[in-house]
């Protein structure tokens, strides 16, 4: 079978009380797609390199979370919170009339997938979790410091927006470095363009400079730090659900603190899979897309096999070589650069 093309997508806007949720629906739009959810401070561009490696018989709906990418910001005076983000999943399902959902999430998107699956397991048919498993459980003293910091900084950001002050601006070259530094170089400068084209605007104050268009308040969102006992009980509710976890070997997001929930997810579950990508950082799906696809593609084909009516089964099946896939990714990257240059 062939693979998805990054050129074959439909821009979508899902209505919400605060505005809309922006997204791109890649590939097959006749059947229920995989819902792909990015990580904190990222946007749907995080899946660019992975999308073109996935089987073309199934669609993928990638969304920008509120306050990220091209989705609307929430109202002034409100806070972003993980549990509120979880409600985005049933909102999307309701919009398209899905009774089931297939989830693929990175970081915050993976946490959302875990939480939603534990709350409504009968509505989920598979989960792909990229370098994350469950919400964090920081030590109390550190958590108090984080909460105090976020409270203060959120008010500062709210005041800046209320006074219509433009955020700090940078040249395009500086933006790639800022993004790389902010991700602890998990998103390297050469990969930053996959994210920047959906989250920067041209400065109205300084020629040739740009600023991050995402809502500054998302940096100080309300954390969901759960008691280990609660996480274990939520893990048990998932039971025998098809669940794939891919860890970057150089990442700290999956480690000793996740051993118990992983053991629960694995217990008596023939549909549980766990893999580690050597040298992978937190954005393992972006910089090591080919390695991730080796595990994700068979998982999708097994748990979401092509329907007999699938459009990809009519006519001659398209076979893309590795070089063709890379050229496709290069064309997308070139288009992203062109979009930035036109801002």
Give pLDDT tens digits along the chain (343 positions): 699 999 999 999 999 999 999 999 999 999 999 999 999 999 999 999 999 999 999 999 999 999 999 999 999 999 999 999 999 999 999 999 999 999 999 999 999 999 999 999 999 999 999 999 999 877 778 888 888 989 999 999 999 898 888 999 999 999 999 999 999 999 999 999 999 999 999 999 998 999 999 999 999 987 777 889 999 999 999 999 999 999 999 999 999 989 999 999 999 999 999 999 999 999 999 999 999 999 999 999 999 999 875 544 433 333 444 555 566 566 656 665 666 655 5
The CATH number assigned to the domain holding 325 equals 3.40.50.1820
Query: Where are the extended beta strands (E) located within the chain?
Result: 9-16, 19-26, 34-37, 60-63, 101-106, 124-130, 200-202, 210-212, 243-248, 272-277
Look at residue 304 and tell me if it is in a domain.
yes
Question: CA-to-CA distance for 128 and 131, rounded, in angstroms?
Answer: 10
Look at residue 243 and tell me if it is in a domain.
yes
Which token pair is 108? 């915050």
Which token pair is 78? 């409100």
pLDDT at residue 139, rounded to an integer? 75
* Sheet containing 9-16: order of strands: 9-16, 19-26, 60-63, 34-37, 101-106, 124-130, 243-248, 272-277
Helix (H, G, I), strand (E, B) or coil at 211: strand
Look at residue 117 and tell me if it is in a domain.
yes
Which positions are catalytic? 107
List the domain range (segments joined by +) for residue 90: 9-135+222-342
Measured CA to CA in angstroms, residue 183 lies from 41, 189, 285, 297, 308 at distances of 9, 10, 14, 27, 43
pLDDT at residue 325, rounded to an integer? 55
Neighbours of 134 (CB within 10 A): 26
Question: CA-to-CA distance for 33 and 304, rounded, in angstroms?
Answer: 10
Residues, the chain, total? 343
Determine phi and psi for 332, rounding to 5 degrees: -65, -40
pLDDT at residue 321, rounded to an integer? 45
Look at residue 158 and tell me if it is in a domain.
no
Look at residue 210 and tell me if it is in a domain.
no
Look at residue 4 and tell me if it is in a domain.
no
Which token pair is 84? 């509120």
What residue has token string 């998932």?
238
pLDDT at residue 162, rounded to an integer? 87
Count CA atoms closer than 13 A to 176's CA, side-chain side: 12
Look at residue 182 and tell me if it is in a domain.
no
Look at residue 179 and tell me if it is in a domain.
no
pLDDT at residue 343, rounded to an integer? 57
Q: Computed from CA positions of residues 76, 82, 87, 91, in that sequence, does the dihedral angle turn out positive or negative?
A: positive
Question: CA-to-CA distance for 109 and 212, rounded, in angstroms?
Answer: 20
Total tally of structural domains belonging to the chain: 1
């Amino acid at each position: 079978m062939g693979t998805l093309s990054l050129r074959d997508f439909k821009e979508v806007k899902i209505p919400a009380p605060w505005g809309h949720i922006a997204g791109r629906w890649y590939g097959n739009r006749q059947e229920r797609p995989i819902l792909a959810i990015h990580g904190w401070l990222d946007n749907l561009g995080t899946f660019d390199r992975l999308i073109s490696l996935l089987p073309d018989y199934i669609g993928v709906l990638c969304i920008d979370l509120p306050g990220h990418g091209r989705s609307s910001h929430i109202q002034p005076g409100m806070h972003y919170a993980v549990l509120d983000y979880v409600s985005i999943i049933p909102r999307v399902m309701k919009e398209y009339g899905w009774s089931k959902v297939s989830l693929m999430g990175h970081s915050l998107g993976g946490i959302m997938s875990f939480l939603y699956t534990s709350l409504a397991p009968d509505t989920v048919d598979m989960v792909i979790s990229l370098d994350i498993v469950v919400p964090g459980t920081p030590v109390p003293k550190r958590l108090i410091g984080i909460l105090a910091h976020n409270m203060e900084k959120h008010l500062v950001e709210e005041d800046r927006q209320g006074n219509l002050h433009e955020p700090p601006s940078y040249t395009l070259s500086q933006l790639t470095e800022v993004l790389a530094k902010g991700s602890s170089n998990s998103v390297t400068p050469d990969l930053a363009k996959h994210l920047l084209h959906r989250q920067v605007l041209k400065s109205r104050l300084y020629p040739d400079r740009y600023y991050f268009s995402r809502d500054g308040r998302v940096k100080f969102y309300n954390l969901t730090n759960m008691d280990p006992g609660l996480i274990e009980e939520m893990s048990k509710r998932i039971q025998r659900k098809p669940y794939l976890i891919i860890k970057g070997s150089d990442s700290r997001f999956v480690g000793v603190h996740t051993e118990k929930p992983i053991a629960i997810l694995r217990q008596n579950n023939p549909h549980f899979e766990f893999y580690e990508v050597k040298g992978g950082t937190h954005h393992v799906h972006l910089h090591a897309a080919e390695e991730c696809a080796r595990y994700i593609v068979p998982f999708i084909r097994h748990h979401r096999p092509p329907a007999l009516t699938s459009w990809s089964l009519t006519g001659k099946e398209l076979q893309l070589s590795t070089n063709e896939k890379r050229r496709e990714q290069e064309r997308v990257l070139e288009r992203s650069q062109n979009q930035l240059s036109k801002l």
